[in-house]
């Protein structure tokens, strides 16, 4: 019988058993590994005798985190990186070269957009924008140099849910890779491979790390794309078949760029996975109740939460996420000044960036996360100056509502 998410996480066996049979997989705090012979170390470097040689290229604790994720996502390959941004960067560097283009949604986590528009654009990658809630806008942007479509399934902080089925149809017709950031839709509620996503990226800093304790990222390859269609992977495909992407990412890009996950963070995140489902449920239930409460408050202009029946994304939330939008919501007040007043009056909810901490966190996105956006880009994302993002934690919900109520009172 198929087992549930948490059972699978708790009972994942490591590829190599710990010598002492430790119940919690240990932190291998080592930079390098000793070999019995010169032949063995040569074999490790030449991939004829796979073994850990140096922790920038591989570490047992990091591998254990990857194995746990692989077990619950049915992925073909999972590669851990130093952060969510490192995971996105490694993916693009593996797939694209100067002269290629990618089609992205401008409505994403601010650093992702800036990585594409500033950093990677200046290296010769052309970046085209489309509205992924309206997939017909994507079609005219695709040509023979388009390597991938990049979007967030549930986007931060806009909380729109994309039209996955139609995006997938377009991608498969055009043979273009579907790369999704699934940070807000973790594997306990969303099965990315089932919806035709080829590569998903997750910032483990968020839901997966156990309450805001570490930074990390994952690249997940579902084994459902033909790597022959990526010019840069052509040769590797003939040698490694379906492993072409993961091989290049791990053995070349990650090793050369050096953005490896630390074993200590891998340990924290492997432990975080054990309570992910519990924490997610509590954050989801709290956020739903707060969203409903805010929706009925006269001082609040608008609430965005896909779990609310009046949300334009309610149906997609039911279909893709079993009705669980998670712990993130936004609400709009009449002005930036009013937002600042309310934020400053909060006593429990913390003024901080980051999301999915066990504590509730609030931020005014326009003056912080999007402060570096050009006027042109800001217009593209049309973020209101009155918008606040609330990342709901696992406190008792009455305490959170009381805090918001006293802060909103005039």
Ligand X SMILES: *Cc1c(COP(=O)(O)O)cnc(C)c1O
Which residues in this chain contact ligand X in the complex, by CB under 6 A? Answer: 83-85, 109, 111-112, 152, 156, 181, 183-184, 203, 205-206, 215, 217, 355
Give the nearest distance from C-beta 110 to ligand X in angstroms. 9
Cα–Cα distance, 64 to 25 (Å, whole number): 8
Cβ closer to ligand X: 132 or 247? 132
Cα–Cα distance, 368 to 366 (Å, whole number): 6
Cβ closer to ligand X: 95 or 244? 95
Give the nearest distance from C-beta 108 to ligand X in angstroms. 7
Cα–Cα distance, 80 to 89 (Å, whole number): 12
Give the nearest distance from C-beta 185 to ligand X in angstroms. 10
Give the nearest distance from C-beta 22 to ligand X in angstroms. 28
Give the nearest distance from C-beta 355 to ligand X in angstroms. 6
Cβ closer to ligand X: 356 or 403? 356
Cα–Cα distance, 164 to 269 (Å, whole number): 28
Give the nearest distance from C-beta 207 to ligand X in angstroms. 10
Token readout for 72 is 């619950």
| Contacts with 164 (C-beta within 8 Å, 6 or more apart), sequence order | 153, 195, 196, 197, 316, 320
Cβ closer to ligand X: 174 or 359? 359
**Tally of CB atoms within 10 A around 57:** 15
Asked whether the beta carbons of 166 and 320 are under 8 A apart, the reply is no
Cβ closer to ligand X: 148 or 236? 148
3-state class of 190 per DSSP?
A: coil
When CB distances to ligand X are compared, the closest residue is 84
Cα–Cα distance, 113 to 125 (Å, whole number): 13
| Contacts with 9 (C-beta within 8 Å, 6 or more apart), sequence order | 68, 71, 72, 273, 274, 276
Cβ closer to ligand X: 181 or 403? 181
């Amino acid at each position: 019988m198929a087992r549930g998410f948490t059972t699978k996480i708790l009972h994942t066996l490591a590829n190599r058993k710990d010598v002492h049979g430790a119940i919690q997989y240990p932190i291998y705090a080592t930079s390098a590994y000793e070999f019995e012979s010169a032949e063995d170390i040569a074999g490790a470097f030449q991939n004829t005798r796979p073994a850990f040689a140096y922790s920038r290229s591989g570490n047992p604790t990091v591998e254990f985190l990857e194995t746990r994720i692989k077990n619950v996502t049915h992925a073909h390959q999972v590669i851990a990186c130093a952060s969510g941004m490192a995971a996105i960067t490694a993916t693009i560097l593996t797939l694209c070269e100067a002269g290629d283009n990618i089609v992205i949604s401008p409505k994403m986590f601010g650093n992702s957009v800036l990585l594409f528009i500033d950093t990677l654009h200046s290296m010769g990658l052309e970046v085209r924008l489309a509205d992924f809630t309206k997939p017909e806008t994507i079609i005219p942007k695709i040509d023979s140099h388009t390597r991938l479509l990049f979007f967030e399934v549930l986007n931060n902080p806009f909380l729109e849910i994309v039209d996955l089925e139609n995006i997938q149809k377009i991608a498969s017709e055009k043979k273009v890779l579907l790369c999704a950031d699934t940070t807000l839709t973790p594997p306990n509620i969303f099965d990315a491979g089932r919806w035709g996503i080829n590569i998903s990226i997750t910032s483990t800093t968020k839901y997966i790390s156990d309450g805001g304790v570490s930074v990390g990222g994952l690249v997940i390859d579902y084994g459902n794309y033909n790597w022959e269609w990526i010019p840069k992977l052509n040769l590797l495909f003939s040698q490694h078949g379906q492993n072409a992407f993961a091989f290049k990412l791990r053995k070349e890009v990650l090793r050369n760029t050096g953005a490896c996950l630390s074993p200590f963070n891998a340990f924290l995140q492997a432990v975080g996975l054990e309570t992910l489902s519990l924490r997610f449920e509590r954050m989801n239930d709290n956020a739903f109740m707060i969203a409903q409460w805010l929706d009925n408050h006269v001082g609040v202009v608008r609430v965005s939460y896909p779990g609310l029946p009046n949300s334009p994304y309610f149906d997609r939330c039911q279909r893709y996420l079993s009705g669980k939008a998670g712990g993130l919501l936004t609400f709009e007040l009449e002005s930036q000044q009013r937002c600042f007043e309310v934020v400053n009056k909060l006593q429990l909810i913390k003024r901080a960036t980051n999301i999915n901490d066990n504590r509730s966190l609030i931020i005014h996105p326009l003056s912080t996360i999007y402060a570096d956006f050009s006027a042109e880009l800001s217009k593209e994302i049309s973020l209101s100056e009155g918008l606040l993002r609330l990342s709901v934690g696992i406190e008792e919900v009455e305490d959170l509502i009381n805090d918001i109520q006293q802060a909103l009172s005039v």
